[in-house]
Amino acid sequence: MIGIIGSGIAGLSAALRLRSLGYEVTVFEAHTGPGGKLDEISQDGYRFDLGPSLFTMPQYIDELFELFDENPRDHFNYLKKETLCNYFWTDGTRFQTPADKEEFITSFSTSFKENPAKVRQFLEDNSLKYELTAPLFLGRSLHRLKTYLNRITVKAIAKIYRLDLFKSLYSTLQSYFENPKSLQFFSRHATYNGSSPYQTPGIMSLIPHLEMHFGTYYPEGGMRSITESLYQLAIRHDVQFHFDEKVTRIDLHKGKVIGLSTAKGSYPFDIVVSNMDVVPTYRKLLTSIKAPEKTLAQERSSSALIFYWGIRKTFKELDLHNIFFSDSYQEEFNCIFEKKTLSEDPTVYVNISSKHTPSDAPEGGENWFVMINAPGNYGQNWEELIDLSRERILNKLSLLLGVNIKELIETEFVWDPRGIEAKTDSFLGALYGAASNDRMAAFLRHPNRAPQISNLYFCGGSVHPGGGIPLCVQSGKIVSELINEDYPK
């Protein structure tokens, strides 16, 4: 019997894979329903996806249905975006990113006066980085010897010089591009794992490959439909769920897990998987053992300040994904990671799901998910920072869209790092666990199996392979394979 703490996307992935292998699985969730950060809210006729808004690599979700010989299209559907994102700069420059590779090369090179051959080379090099590293980093535990004793790993090590591990992402980009806007355009992908482009290693330039090769998608009904479809799949196949039942302790005996305790009682389990952030897992649930302090002390990723605005107007120039760039990009990241504050000129991301699901907003309106990158919750004066940032964001959007956005807001909900930390138990409100501002970051993340407890495992954004929907889903896969190796059914 296996107990899983948390029903985030990684917990659901682990539960489904383990159930498909024949294990009895029970999931405990502190909240009233599944999903973790993949939640939703409705307010004054507007529906908002609360958390992640980018959906890539949908094949990882489809695989979970296929484990049970179910056709994913009978339960979960999505459309592929022809436009990846719209970009705006304060000097009036706009760029609409086409999904087609050849069209992108032509359009990007023309718009930013870059050498088309360099743009193509950049994309091909990113593809190679993915090919060399994905089988190692996305599909395997990095903390087992046999991961390194195979042909794939040897091939990656032989070409390590192609991975740009020893210079920053920004420095890597400078070897391909000259226009500052080009550098900014590709630098922003560091935020996909909550890091700084000026510190994270150049291997992170492979992230655009995930969008441009695999594409970006919109799940029908919004991001919340990912959670709901997987939950219903789990229910159909007898995964047990305990909602509104927060785990208070992982029970141990002689160095092994023997079960879980909640306010409602104690439950025996042979194996436990924590989908909870690794830091509070140790600090709150494993207080009787020595925690891996060096791992837990790693720099945390960025968090977010998000405004959910019901806007009583539609904007033809906007799409599902929209970016409004800062004029002081390096200072923005310096504020987040060094000064632990918010930039006076933040880059603003606007997601509008009503572009594809009109019922998410009243007729003639749009539901805006408006986010800026933020530091974690280090005790800042958040009320003051929120007020200042709200005005800065409104000024930027109003300037670039040519309309007073403030006057169009019909409803508002705000989520800041304090709320993210409180609702999701993400340490300091970090969205991706540890930051990747180190070339060895991938190897320093907490492993998927507890080093000192043989039958305790971890999945989710705070452990290997990292945050974001694809990586969290894969962490569930890695955990299920480890358990099946250690305790074959």
Position 136 scores a pLDDT of 63
How many helices (H) and strands (E) the chain has is answered by 16, 20
* H-type alpha helices, 237-328: 278-280, 293-296
Average pLDDT of the chain to the nearest whole number: 92
Task: Please tell me the distance from the alpha carbon of residue 19 to that of residue 239, in angstroms, as a whole number.
Answer: 7
Per-residue pLDDT reduced to its tens digit, 308-350? 999 999 999 999 999 999 999 999 999 999 999 999 999 999 9
Task: Please tell me the distance from the alpha carbon of residue 300 to that of residue 137, in angstroms, as a whole number.
Answer: 20
Residue 104 backbone phi and psi in degrees, to 5: -65, -45
| Between 213 and 345, residue with greater pLDDT | 345
Strands 40-43 and 46-49, sheet pairing? antiparallel
Q: Is the pLDDT of residue 4 over 50?
A: yes
Task: Please tell me the distance from the alpha carbon of residue 426 to that of residue 376, in angstroms, as a whole number.
Answer: 10
Average pLDDT of 476-489? 94
Contact 39, 50 (CB under 8 A): yes
Enumerate residues 6+ apart whose C-beta is below 8 A from 12.
27, 34, 227, 230, 231, 234, 476
Contact 473, 56 (CB under 8 A): no
What is the Rg, in whole angstroms, of the alpha carbon atoms belonging to the chain? 22
pLDDT band at 153 (very low <50, low <70, confident <90, very high): low
Position 169 scores a pLDDT of 93
Q: Which residue do the tokens 């903390």 mark?
A: 143
Per-residue pLDDT reduced to its tens digit, 88-109? 999 999 999 999 999 999 999 9
Of 334, 358, 364, which Cα lies nearest the Cα of 346?
A: 334
Could you give the residue range(s) of every CATH 3.50.50.60 domain in the chain? 2-38+56-68+220-298+436-486
Enumerate residues 6+ apart whose C-beta is below 8 A from 338.
none
Of 222, 223, 226, 234, which Cα lies nearest the Cα of 14?
A: 234
Q: Is the pLDDT of residue 395 over 80?
A: yes
CA torsion sign, 277 to 283 to 286 to 290? positive
Residue 362: HSE in the Cβ half-sphere, 13 Å Cα cutoff: 11
| Class level of CATH domain 102-215 | mainly alpha
Per-residue pLDDT reduced to its tens digit, 40-66? 999 999 999 999 999 999 999 999 999
Position 128 scores a pLDDT of 86
Could you give the residue range(s) of every CATH 1.10.405 domain in the chain? 102-215
Task: Please tell me the distance from the alpha carbon of residue 168 to that of residue 361, in angstroms, as a whole number.
Answer: 41
Helices 101-112 and 180-187: angle between axes, nearest 10 degrees: 140
Contact 337, 402 (CB under 8 A): no
Q: What are the b/e assignments for 403-435, b being 16+ CB within 10 Å?
A: eebeebebbebebbbbbbbebbbbbbbbbbbbb
pLDDT band at 149 (very low <50, low <70, confident <90, very high): very low
Task: Please tell me the distance from the alpha carbon of residue 1 to that of residue 15, in angstroms, as a whole number.
Answer: 11
Position 59 scores a pLDDT of 95
Burial bucket for residue 24 (CB in 10 Å: 0-12, 13-18, 19+): middle
Contact 275, 8 (CB under 8 A): yes
CA end-to-end span of the chain, whole Å?
11
Burial bucket for residue 290 (CB in 10 Å: 0-12, 13-18, 19+): exposed
3 state SS of 332: helix
pLDDT band at 444 (very low <50, low <70, confident <90, very high): confident
Q: List the CATH code of the domain at 2-38+56-68+220-298+436-486.
A: 3.50.50.60
Task: Please tell me the distance from the alpha carbon of residue 12 to that of residue 20, in angstroms, as a whole number.
Answer: 12
Q: Which residue do the tokens 């109003």 mark?
A: 398
